[in-house]
Amino acid sequence: MISQKPLKLAQHAEICLLSAILEGEYPPGSAFPAERELAEKIGVTRPTLREALQRLARDGWLDIRQGKQTIIRDYMKEGGLGVISTMARMADRLPANFITYFLGVRSVILPAVSRMAAENQPAILEEHLVGSQSLADTPDAYTDYDWNLQLNMMTHSGNPFFRVIFNNFALMYHEWGLRYFRFPEARLLSAKYYAALLELVRRRDGVGVEARVRLVMADVTALWESRIGEMENEI
């Protein structure tokens, strides 16, 4: 439960608590043990523990009530951007099915956003897609390119709030993108997608762009789900 990088004690405590929540040791609706017990369990002082608890409460994970037990909130129903941001920082500790949730959100949002970008700023999107023709056949190259393509679409959709939302997923995407794109069939699927998208953008076919993005989102999700077991074994 301890990060490989040196951490401040409060950060260490926060990660320990979040790991315990995400791994189901303390499910939503349950309560943390008393402060003294919890502090001893994770190896920090009570003031340090309180600092970590306050951070988690601020981000929507906990309900702290003076003189009562600290309750784990139903973060998947009640959480906001703070929960998303925290989960993204915990990408290397998230179960693979959490990424499936992200893919579901992306499948709903990105097709419409891609059409907006293709209609608002086709030349900029075309310039980015041309770069896919010289893309190195490596997980790193595909992960970076694919993420930046999505950010390009968000940025030039005409609604900056899309990018504000998706910025929260950057660390999560890069953590799991490297695992996904290590499969040759994943890189091949995306290479074909980039080429098809480039032709549609050149024809200024915003409707076609939206349809092609929606199709590849379904294909990516299916491939991801078929490989979840292998990727989970890497954790």
Residues 204 and 117 grouped into a single domain: yes
What angle, rounded to 10 degrees, do the helices at 9-22 and 35-42 form? 100
The phi, psi pair for 6, rounded to 5°, reads -60, 135
21 contacts 72 by C-beta, under 8 angstroms: yes
Which residues span the domain enclosing 182? 94-232
CATH number for the domain that contains residue 51:
1.10.10.10
* C-alpha span between 133 and 154 (Å, rounded): 22
* C-alpha span between 142 and 181 (Å, rounded): 7
Residues 108 and 24 grouped into a single domain: no
Burial class (CB in 10 A: 0-12, 13-18, 19+), 4: exposed
- Domain membership flag for residue 88: no
Per-residue pLDDT for the chain (235 aa), expressed as one digit of tens each? Answer: 333 444 578 888 988 898 888 888 999 999 999 999 999 999 999 999 999 999 899 888 999 988 889 999 998 888 777 777 777 777 666 666 677 888 888 999 999 999 999 999 999 999 999 999 999 999 999 999 999 999 999 999 999 999 988 888 888 888 889 999 999 999 999 999 999 999 999 999 999 999 999 999 999 999 988 887 676 555 4
Q: Which residues of 10-31 are buried (b: 16+ CB within 10 A; e: fewer)?
A: bbbbbbbbbbbbbeeebeeeee
CATH number for the domain that contains residue 105:
1.20.120.530
Residues 74 and 100 grouped into a single domain: no
Give the domain-ending residue among 48, 79, 110. 79
